Structure 1
Amino acid sequence: MWKSLHRAFPTMDELFKRCSAPNSTCPICHNQDESIEHLLLLCQRVEPVWFGGILNLKIDRDTVSSWVEWVLSFSMEHGSPNYDKMALLSYVAFSCWHIWEARCNFLYNNCQINPTQVLCAISNSARAFFEVVRRNPNPSDQGTVAIREPMWFTPPTMFTKINIDASWSAPACSGFVGVVLQDADGFFVAATRHAIRAPSVGAAEMMAILKGCEFGLALGLQKVLVESDSFDSVCSLSESLEMGGWEAFPSLAKAKRLGESFQDCRWSWIPSSANMTTDSLASQQYTEM
């Protein structure tokens, strides 16, 4: 199985062995041979994808001997009742696919690898897959397992996570923004709430992201992970501002500029079911904090 997996993956290392490549060096980092382990786990361009996603994995280079052994070890480590093994392994599979896709786009289309864009693509694919599984009326009949609800995860070391959300009333064109900050240990740092006026729900969500950036800068934070359940807003900030609606564009542009003021700012999508604390803070039902 292991040998067949190696042959199926046209890494530079494998192509070099077949005399189909001039060398076996990784075309991205140019530091090591591009084995399947290096491509999917160990390359420096891959590290932010693993610890920046919902798995929050920090790959230990010294313990990775083979891809298969790493997957088996991961499966056993997360095999407790508190985790859904199928959901986690599905997320790992989507992560590997989009890492490979980003590598190919870099190699053949001269597209620079943006970890945040890769994370957005992984989240989108995983979300669509999990929704299909949840809609299955008889999962036991087809051998599938129940998917656990999405969870909030702590940010990488030295980062502060800024969770934001917005509520919006169409008749009044107004609402509230909630911002909650937590550190890498999951401890509460600060929170704030603002009343806003916005022409659309998309504009309200972008105002929330803007308020989150302003709050983080006011507190003097250096490394932040700004997390929103507005997938369109996160993708617009990660990929291209032109992807956002015109009503949200002014806030998008301001948030993008503010993000560049941090030493390191990353944009992340989170399901609304895992963002309930901020959702409650932004709810119009609560007129006071």
Structure 2
Amino acid sequence: MSDRLVWPRDRNGCYSVKSGYHWLHSVNAVRHSNIPSSSTTVDSDCWKLMWKTNVPPKIKTFLWRALRNAIATFGNLFRRKCARTPLCPLCNCYHETAEHMLLLCPWVETVWFGSPLSLRIDKGSISTLDVWLCNTFSNIGTEQNDGDGIKSLVCFLCWHIWKERCKAVMEQCSPSPQDTIQRASNAANEFLSFKERRQGNRSPRPQILVHNLAWSPPLSPLVKLNVDAAWDPISKSVGIGMVVRDHDGQFLAGKSLLAQADSALMAECLACLEGCRFASDRGDQWVSFESDCLEAVKSINGDISRGKWEIYPILSNIRDFLVAFRSCSWTWIRRTANEAADHLAELAKLRMCNEVWADTPPSSLTFILNKDGLPCPPTNV
């Protein structure tokens, strides 16, 4: 595609006076001090979203303190001469602010991605906690049938990340992402179920932890094509995996290939593009595409000109492919329902060339296909 001018400080690549002002203000703030100020102005919309979220008062109070930068992080303790260093006690690399503690610390990334939300934390796009919280609520809440439950889970995760961090600091041990995910999910499910029983709702609510965990076959005559990408931030290499199955769950085809990408989001979008190309090459006309990257799916289904400018050429190519299908759709699924494509993506990183499987999957994929509870053909050993 022909080049175009972009403003990298805005999501859609277009310059505005507002984005220019905020960029200039942030540059001046960095020049004057490397330590974040505790004086922050939180958007009123963020306060409304937080106070209306269906969580216990103690979690609302904690989030209120975190948004006002009024919690005992090492950055705040150092500023008050109560700590010897402002560095995070768990990673010892960056100043411990509320944003670092809840979103940016390496062990916390595992919590968000391993949770039922499957959130990928984009460090470059995080400015303040309130902006991230508003964006997360708007992105996830509108995509789920249980939007209130998802918002509650986000708040419970923040609360249990804080508790696990304090435990690790006080007991001088390593934090456990898996235990944090389990405790937060169980607490959210228990609290929401109790609230519904008090309101007279006799029917049991779906558990957040087990919602849409398994792959499901499409309706006839559709075929379902799952895509996933495995990105290495050091080498910038990408393993892409694709699996095609029909309405009976029968394995029709699979493919793995290597590519290059500058970010995890770009890698996921490349996987979506290769999935469209694979379906087109196979001659499929009725296709249901699935990916576990929420931002990629939202970008494909929405206005691509308002998405991130780095992935605009990829999204444009995807749109060109979609018009060739008689019927197609893009749907976000949880990572646990996309294990087959994820396995082929990891497999691509171990091999030197692209591979295509027709009718017969690789032997290492058999367990995952059987785990989905669907028929599996003889394997190609």
TM-score (structure 1 length as normaliser):
0.53
2: CA distance, partners of 1:137 / 1:193: 38
**Counterpart of 1:176?**
239
TM-fit CA distance, 1:190:
0.2
Per the alignment, in what secondary structure is the counterpart of residue 296 of structure 2? helix
Match status 1:206 vs 2:269: yes
Per the alignment, in what secondary structure is the counterpart of residue 156 of structure 1? coil
The structure having more radius of gyration, on CA atoms, is 2
Preserved CA contact (<8 Å) 2:227 2:341? yes
TM-fit CA distance, 1:234:
0.7
Structure 1: runs of 5+ lacking an equivalent: 1-118
**Counterpart of 1:248?**
311
State which of 229, 236, 240 in structure 1 corresponds to 2:299. Answer: 236
Preserved CA contact (<8 Å) 1:199 1:247? no
**Counterpart of 2:343?**
280
Which structure 2 residues correspond to residues 99-114 of structure 1 after superposition, within 5 A? none
AA at the equivalent of 2:292: D
TM-fit CA distance, 1:127:
7.2
Question: Cα 1:242–1:167, aligned 2, differ >3 Å: closer, same or farther?
Answer: same
AA at the equivalent of 2:246: D
Preserved CA contact (<8 Å) 2:239 2:259? yes
Per the alignment, in what secondary structure is the counterpart of residue 128 of structure 1? helix
Per the alignment, in what secondary structure is the counterpart of residue 181 of structure 1? strand
**Counterpart of 1:262?**
325
Preserved CA contact (<8 Å) 2:258 2:349? no
1: CA distance, partners of 2:189 / 2:284: 48
Preserved CA contact (<8 Å) 1:155 1:183? yes
Structure 2: runs of 5+ lacking an equivalent: 1-140, 157-183, 198-203, 356-381
AA at the equivalent of 1:255: I
Match status 1:227 vs 2:249: no
TM-fit CA distance, 1:242:
2.9
Preserved CA contact (<8 Å) 1:226 1:265? yes
Match status 1:128 vs 2:191: no
TM-fit CA distance, 1:208:
0.2
AA at the equivalent of 1:236: S
Q: Which moved more, 1:134-143 or 1:269-278?
A: 134-143
Per the alignment, in what secondary structure is the counterpart of residue 247 of structure 1? helix
2: CA distance, partners of 1:229 / 1:127: 19
CA RMSD of aligned residues (A): 2.9
Match status 1:216 vs 2:238: no
Question: Over residues 155-174 of structure 1, what are the superposed CA-to-partner deviations in whole Å (9 max), with x where a residue is unaligned?
Answer: 12101111000011111111
Preserved CA contact (<8 Å) 1:200 1:247? no
Question: Cα 1:222–1:151, aligned 2, differ >3 Å: closer, same or farther?
Answer: same
Identity %: 29
